[in-house]
Amino acid sequence: WTFYLLLPIFPLLLSLLGAPETRLTTLSNGLRIASEETNQATCTVGLWIGCGSRYESEKNNGAGFFLEHMAFKGTKKHPQSALEQAVESMGAHLSAYTSREHTAYYMKTLAKDLPKAVELLAEVVMSSSLSEADIEQQRSVVLRELEEVQGSLQDVCLDLLHATAFQGTPLGHSVLGPSANARTLTRNDLVEYINSHYKAPRMVLATAGGVNHDDLVALAKQQFSGVSFEYEGDAVPVPSLCRFTGSEIRMRDDEMPLAHIAIAVEGAGVASPDIVPLMVANSIIGSYDITFGGGKHLSSRLARLAAELNLCHSFQAFHSSYSDTGLLGIYFVTDKHKIEDMMHWAQNAWMNLCTTVTESDVARAKNALKASLVGQLNGTTPVCDDIGRHILNYGRRIPLAEWDARIEAVTPRIVRDVCSKYIYDKCPAVSAVGELVYFLYLICIFYVYYFVLE
């Protein structure tokens, strides 16, 4: 009978176990090369660096984001027009992103053009021209992007959440930085940032697709052997401890039609053993949008309530994990008259995780989580990103089969114990943007709810 019960999931198990191996090599200067080889005609190659806004100060906050823009404005060998022509002639796509702890520069191209792609990436990252004229031109571009981000109320709300939850610490910094810094950052600030953080031991050259690992290692030796691994005066930047502060921040605007609210407690770091149970817990809460079908038949209890009681326009559970801490929370968008009800049921969903979560809840959440992890790796670019971040976070690529085993090991008892550890009787951080006429009163309710339960 056990065989017949497991038979439906055998194809998934076989596909997970048959996933290509991620090979890892370290150069003498500490730079790591990781690749997942498939038989595709395309590949994605990129450089992942262990630095971001968490490594910035109040003075240079936004330097990493500014450098991201400068990367494509020409190198010492290729002016901007030549760089763009080289990328376009390959039919490639060159891009970058900056987060609170990671910076990435990557290119999607034909597998046969890998040598040229690696050469261009090395130039973009290590030999950017950083001319004064380009810096002044990009200053206005960065300022426009900062204005555009203000129109994304979800981004604003979650940035405010970090600012209040990690107030007085580098994790409270915005990735984009304040507009004042965008106006005043100099070439010396950018050069100093590169010299301080772009070191070989903090870099991962990651590749996914139709590549050969040994060929990639040879290319890395050719292009990156000269990257420094030494710090001036041995001043190795170490991220400071970022304490969590239960607090609240509001940006009230009664002209806005809706309220955007995020509630979070301190979560687990990326390497914590609690990370998988918390992922399952978030999957139990799930997400909801008013455009969803299903209504009372939705699998998430909070989603069913949101549909039946018209609690909100949308919500999503999230867990933002960093090297040593995180934010475990719920973000929702609702009408001002529904804030009280949505706050109540969001808290209730958290308390249920600590007390009454069932076998069926966990089984459904585990299936959804497994499907999500597999679905996120659709293409060489997300796979390459997964490799780069894993090497920086864990020192190795965690295969899907291992994630599957960890998720399968989670039981309702584990979910209840871990959620009690992080949620029960903990002061939350709350951020809100929009029409918040009744917000102050409801925050008082939120705190009382926690402490009365104790």
CA distance 315 to 334: 9
Beta-sheet pairing, 103-110 with 93-98:
antiparallel
What's the distance, CA 407 to chain centroid? 20
Catalytic residue from among 36, 37, 56, 68: 68
The rounded radius of gyration (Å) of the Cα atoms in the chain is 23
CA torsion 52-55-58-59 (nearest 10°) is: -90
Q: Is 68 a catalytic residue?
A: yes
What's the distance, CA 420 to chain centroid? 25
The DSSP result for 242-273, as a single string, is: ------EEEEE-TTSSSEEEEEEEEE--TT-T
Q: In 3D, which of 43, 47, 66 has the Cα closest to residue 56?
A: 66
CA torsion 416-422-423-428 (nearest 10°) is: -170
SS3 95: strand
The DSSP result for 287-304, as a single string, is: EEETT-S-GGG-SSHHHH
Catalytic residues: 68
